[in-house]
A = this chain, B = another copy of it.
Amino acid sequence: MAKLNSSLSRPKSTSPKPKSTLPADDQIGSGHAVTSYDVARHAGVSQSAVSRCFTPGGSVSDKMRARIKQAADELGYQPNAIARMLFTKRSNLIAVIVANLGVNPDFTSILSKHLIERGLNLLFFTLDQEADAERAIEQLWQYRVDGVISASELSEAHISLLRERGIPLVFINRLYEITGANSVGCDHAEGERWLIDRLVQAGHKNFGIVAGPKLSAVSRLRTHAALDRLQVLGIDKPAIIYGDFTYEGGRQAMRTLFEGKKRPDAVVCANDLMAIGCIDEAREVLSLGIPDQVSVVGFDGLSPGQWSAFSLTTVRQPMQSMVKAAVDMLVARIADPALATERRVFSGELVEGHSARLK
């Protein structure tokens, strides 16, 4: 029961015979891993012909192409991407890094679609703890990914590591002002100003802010913009509660906000999930009418927010455009790594739900 010798006739293989590279024809679908040599032998051509035949720009006669394609089909041959990668140094792999929380649920599938369109594949990394980032960076390097899209913040060290290694990196909705890293994002400040302006126009006076985690850059951007605008409009400094971007966090923040003596008439949340939590807490526990007694606004444009139970007033991020832009940008950088770093910022879209009194 010796192993079956599937692919003989390699250049310097055991067979000493110099010419006549066509020993006994193969049995179809037998052993594993049919290689280009097997196809070549089966079609009676050289291995390089097979390779060319599967290469986009390869110069092969129609007749030969047909013969090879048929042989390949009969044997069930597909080129081995691994071997190709080894030679070409292009893996067609894009590493996608997402933080476990605070990511729009359909982000991944939208991204996947855009990558597919460009013939790229998605190597997925999700980050729970800081240690995971270390591992992700190490792995994606080992797999020689062509580029990285990150929806999670990365340390300076990791960013520069990627730069040194020449791996293009594009951030989605993270990390703006910092060191030259490519990014696409939503104009959080603008959106937040819209919300505040509308709320103030409608006569709200006592604001409460539900921020995200203190170290979240997105939360900072949104919250600061709101605070700034309130100050510009001459509104009293609002109470600020720091949440964790979750539903539960939103509920808790709302509770805390209404324990104080100065109860807000408008609550501005750093994301939709917390806003939903606020609404539920207001109705369920605090017995407050939304938007009659309190207005609540969020940020993101999550689909649950648009369910009629909440009808959340919020700013929708143009996910499709952002993701497309990120992929475009990444692909451009892969083609020409010398391109200048760039930021693309999209305006959100104000969604006037019924969770806030707007007039």
Contacts and interface: CB of A to CB of B under 8 A. Distances in A.
Interface in A81-100: 81-83, 85-86, 89, 91, 96, 98, 100
Contact of A276 (B85, B121, B307): B307
* Range class of the A interface residue count: 35 or more
Could you say which of A128, A166, A308 has the most chain B C-beta atoms within 10 Å of its C-beta?
A308
B141 A124 contact: no
Contacts of A247: 303, 307
B78 A82 contact: no
B82 A91 contact: yes
A304 interface: yes
Nearest to A276: B307
Interface stretch (A170-178, A277-285, A313-321): A277-285
A108 B82 contact: no
A20 interface: no
Given A80-B86, A309-B309, 11 more contacts: A33-B89, A81-B143, A82-B91, A86-B86, A108-B124, A108-B126, A112-B124, A112-B125, A122-B125, A247-B307, A280-B309
Contact of A116 (B83, B91, B135, B142): B135
14 contacts: A32-B166, A81-B143, A82-B91, A82-B144, A108-B126, A113-B126, A116-B135, A121-B125, A122-B125, A123-B123, A123-B124, A276-B307, A279-B309, A280-B308
A213 interface: no
A338 to B, nearest CB: 14
Interface of A: 29, 32-33, 76, 78-83, 85-86, 89, 91, 96, 98, 100, 105, 108-109, 112-113, 116, 121-126, 128, 132, 135, 138-139, 141-144, 164-166, 247, 276-277, 279-280, 283-284, 303-304, 307-310
Contacts of A165: 32, 76
Contact of A96 (B78, B79, B124, B135): B124
